[in-house]
Amino acid sequence: MEAPPDLRRLWHAGSLMRDPEIIEAELMELSLTADDTIRFERIVAWCASHPDEVAFALHHLLTLRTDKRSAENS
């Protein structure tokens, strides 16, 4: 799945970002962690390891949440 054009604008000029599918897979893996404290620690570690991708990840997650709410209301 290729990132929509509006998400591409979140990328900083000159910075390298990994494939959005890889980022999404990592975020989904983090979300499967059952313990809230461990999940939070892993999210913080992920953000520290990939600071250039945090804005993209947040936008992606918020978009998914909005899409999910729209589907539930339909």
Q: Give tens-digit pLDDT for 4-26.
A: 555 555 554 455 678 889 998 99
| Tokens at 28, concatenated | 């989904």
Q: Which of the pair, 46 or 70, is modelled with greater confidence?
A: 46
- The per-residue pLDDT for 46 is 94
49-56: Cβ within 8 A, 24+ apart: 50/18, 50/23, 52/12, 52/15, 52/16, 52/17, 53/17, 53/18, 53/23, 55/10, 56/3, 56/7, 56/10, 56/11, 56/17, 56/20, 56/23
Q: Average model confidence (pLDDT) for the chain?
A: 80
- The per-residue pLDDT for 8 is 54
